[in-house]
Amino acid sequence: MEHPSSFFRFYPCALLIVLLFFLPESVFAQTRSLPRVLIIHSYAPKSLISQPQDEGIAQGLAESGFVDGKSVEIKRFFMDTKRTYTRPDQIEARSKQALAMIEDFKPDLVFTVDDNATRTVMLPLVDSDIPVVFSGINAMPEMYNHSRRFMENRTHPGHNVTGVYEKLYIDKSMQLMAEVIRDLKKVVFIVDDSPTGHAIKKQMESELFVYGSDVLYSIYEVGSFTEYKKIIRYIDSNDEIGAYYPAAVRLKTKSGGTVTGRDILHWTLAHSHKPAFASSTLMCRIGAFGGVVVDFSGMGRQAARKGAQILKGTRPGDIAIEDASEFVLAFNIARAKQLGITVEPELLGAAAQLFETMDPDVTPRVFHLVIVQSDDKGCGFGADVEQGMLDELKRHGFIEGKTVKICRFNMKTRQTYRTPKQIHERGLAALKKVYRADPDLVITLGDTAAKEVMLPLVDSSYPVLFGSTMLPPEWYNNYRKFMNNRSNPGHNVSGITGEFQYAKGLKFVKVLFPKAKNIVLIHSGAITWKENFHSLLEQELGDCNSECGFTSIQLKEVSTVREFKELILKYNTDPNVDLVSAVFPAGLTYEDGSVCPVSEIVEWVVAHQTKPDFTFSDSWVRYGYLMAVAIDFEATGHQLGRQVLAVQRGNDPGDMAVQSPEDSYLVINRARAKRLGISLPVSILEAAGKVYDKMEPGKAH
């Protein structure tokens, strides 16, 4: 007879077996670990490339029954090799981290998204026990197969890898653009010089080779954001180019940083007035005009379907490698309206994606200048240069407030901010305005602005032009190298000097006053760059002294109004002095330290000086000086305006020669001659480029 305790020992075990037999399968599924999927991205999170593919992979897996957190566990690793880890050694280090994560996570399936992840993670996993699906590669699979054999052919890869090749459908986009844009003559494609950029370029060349059309095209490969900006400006100003295809995904800045897809696209759209091809629906959503675009989300879903087959038991080597099969017609209606392009209703009806809004910061802006003046508003030669520049721009359709935006900063270093510390602080304030405004071009006028603003911007991302500088550019080049030579500056700076024709002017003084032997030049020691100006004058006068035929040329420096008037009166009555000239008497101070207006100085000179005088500026003869072989600063402004237009068209200041003023000529004030009792020969008047018949000392500035 069986012992009763045996029954009690057997009964719970038997009951448990029965219960387990009849429990639903879902209970067992919950006790097993979920399949593990790891997605390795070349890019950072939320990039133009990674985000839609990632969303597509998750969606495609879910559609195949693998829902993240329920029936599959998905993890991600973003290599961030397009913005942060861009050097080859950094990319290699990131790939090792990704492989270490694979070792730790032990996934059942790995997705590699884009070329860097495929090259540095997928290839090392070839013929391992881990299945891999690649997506969004621009280099053809055959190129990777040369590095490490992972496929026998695209139809039957035969190893542990399959995937989706990112076909751009450029030929279809070209056909579309030719249909939308009337009389399309030329399209420009832009790629960067990264491995991905090289692969995109090869794909472009391959697709365009078989594309038969009368539309011309060029492919530019750029290595920096500065170079890229130059190409965009060139495209925008060239009437032959009707559209462009921006495909640069990573660009270096001059400061050593990196700009990537979304930021590149934002800048591009804000600075271009021509339609941009979109290579993805996300680009179109941001504000690119449109085109036949790769559906990156669809490409992710296509890769996910292959991944789902693998998770269900199919060998990767039995799953064909395919081109991205999903492409769509997409337009951004807001951008088309902004560019004045009408898309025919038939094309709109055929589009799978129509976007009616854009990112807020991609509206094309007008050409934007920041002008930094050394002096107060309306004062100095810089004011004349600016007026001439604006007149030249207006002649070519660039009107302030309409087709060109101008921000101004007056350093006020003649009247208000005069100490070295104050001047430097004003320079810093001007630079802050430049950085805040983020202009297309910076213009500095006058020597103080050149030293305090132009020089700190050398080799920055901002093109810079200078004007109305009295000192030679070589002097600034000694402070900070901004030019290799005047003909080929080679950096980001060029301009028009304001160098006076000292020797030429003195020679003509000798022609007009052949008996003159001794002359005195008085200049202001109160100007901020006085030491350099004094040295310059000494050098010029020393070279001219014997050549011009004078016995002596004295150079005197004063800083106050009292000193200035005393010298003028002294030499005005000195029988051994034949001519007296007050060269640029700006910044002179009263006894209380306040600055005397230039107009007051000129009015006093006209009223009290009885000996002949001369100067080197057209405007100062107009105010009341007798004569000058002068620079026309407004004409110099027109020269500068032509340089501005060249920059607007995409030219680099480093490729534009630093110029001297084109126009120098004899200027006579007949009213001043009459007051001094000087009879001017007809030949002199006929030789003069300008003759003024009145004096306007009150307008001096």
Asked whether the CA dihedral 639, 640, 644, 649 is positive or negative, the reply is positive
Between 278 and 31, the higher pLDDT residue: 278
> Per-residue confidence at 262, pLDDT binned at 50, 70, 90?
confident
The reply to whether 74 falls in a domain is yes
9, part of any domain: no
Q: Please check whether residues 190 and 264 belong to one and the same domain.
A: yes
Most confident of 228-237, 526-535, 668-677: 668-677
456: exposed, middle or buried (Cβ count in 10 Å: 0-12, 13-18, 19+): middle
- Tell whether the model's pLDDT for residue 448 goes beyond 50: yes
What is the end-to-end Cα distance of the chain in Å, rounded?
130
**Do 161 and 179 reside in the same domain of the chain?**
no
Q: Distance between CA 405 and CA 457 in Å, rounded?
A: 20
3-state secondary structure 651-689: CCHHHCCCECCCCEEEEEEHHHHHHHCCCCCHHHHHHCC
Q: Is the pLDDT of residue 506 over 50?
A: yes
Residue 265 pLDDT exceeds 50: yes
287 and 271 in a common domain: yes
The percentage of residues in the chain with a pLDDT greater than 90, rounded to a whole number, is 47
In a domain, 316, yes or no: no
DSSP, res 371: E
Q: By the 8 A CB rule, do 658 and 473 touch?
A: yes
pLDDT at 426 over 50: yes
Q: What is the pLDDT of residue 103?
A: 95
pLDDT digit string, tens, across residues 108-140: 999 999 999 999 999 999 999 999 999 988 888
Q: 467: closest CA among 495, 428, 438?
A: 495
- Whether 199 and 141 map to the same domain: the answer is no
69/196 same-domain check: no
How do residues 613-624 score in pLDDT, each as one tens digit?
Answer: 888 777 788 888
233 and 153 in one domain?
Answer: no
Average of per-residue pLDDT across 383-412: 92
Domain final position from 165, 180, 212 = 165
pLDDT at 497: 93
pLDDT of 10 strictly over 60: no
| Residues 416, 334 share a domain | no
Q: Note the pLDDT tens digit of each residue in 529-579.
A: 555 666 766 776 666 666 777 888 888 889 899 999 999 999 999 999 998
Phi, psi of 682 (to 5 degrees): -60, -35
- Rounded average pLDDT over 193-210: 84
**Residue 168: which pLDDT band, with cuts at 50, 70 and 90?**
confident
Confidence band (pLDDT; 50, 70, 90) for 583?
confident
CB atoms within 10 A of CB 520: 22
Handedness of CA 491, 496, 499, 505 (dihedral sign): positive
Cβ atoms of 638 and 609 closer than 8 Å: no
Q: What is the pLDDT of residue 16?
A: 43
Asked if 348 and 372 sit in the same domain, the reply is no
Q: Which residue spans within 167-309 are E strands per DSSP? A: 186-192, 216-222, 241-246, 250-252, 258-260, 290-294
Same domain (yes/no): 231, 98: no
Tell me whether residue 456 is in a domain.
yes
For residue 333 the two structure tokens come to 């209606």
Q: Within this chain, do residues 89 and 178 fall inside the same structural domain, yes or no?
A: no
Q: What is the pLDDT of residue 419?
A: 85
Q: Is residue 309 situated within a structural domain?
A: no
> Among 496, 527, 556, where does a domain finish?
496
Residue 547 domain-assigned? yes
Task: Please state the rounded mean pLDDT for residues 476-504.
Answer: 89
pLDDT, residue 15, reads 44
Is 384 a domain residue?
Answer: yes
pLDDT digit string, tens, across residues 302-330: 999 999 999 999 999 999 999 988 788 99
Q: Between residues 250 and 432, which one has the greater pLDDT?
A: 432
Give how many domains the chain has, as a whole number.
Answer: 4
Q: For residue 518, give every residue at least 6 positions away whose Cβ sits within 8 Å of its Cβ, in sequence order, or none.
A: 550, 551, 552, 553, 554, 576, 577, 578
Which structural domain range is residue 347 located in? 170-297+324-355
The rounded mean pLDDT for the chain is 87
Q: 538 and 631: one domain?
A: yes
pLDDT above 60 (res 20): no
For the ranges 5-14, 170-179, 301-310, the lowest mean pLDDT is seen at 5-14
Is there a single domain that holds both residue 147 and residue 222? Answer: no
- Please give the angle made by the CA atoms of 515, 583 and 682, to the nearest 5 degrees: 45
pLDDT of 5: 47
Report pLDDT for 25.
45
Residues facing 583 on adjacent strands: 523
Last residue of a domain, one of 441, 466, 496: 496
CATH number at residue 255: 3.40.50.2300
The pLDDT value recorded for residue 540 is 67
Partners of 466 in beta bridges: 444, 495
Let me know: does 121 contact 98? Beta carbons within 8 Å.
Answer: yes
Domain contains 20: no
Q: Is the pLDDT of residue 27 over 70?
A: no
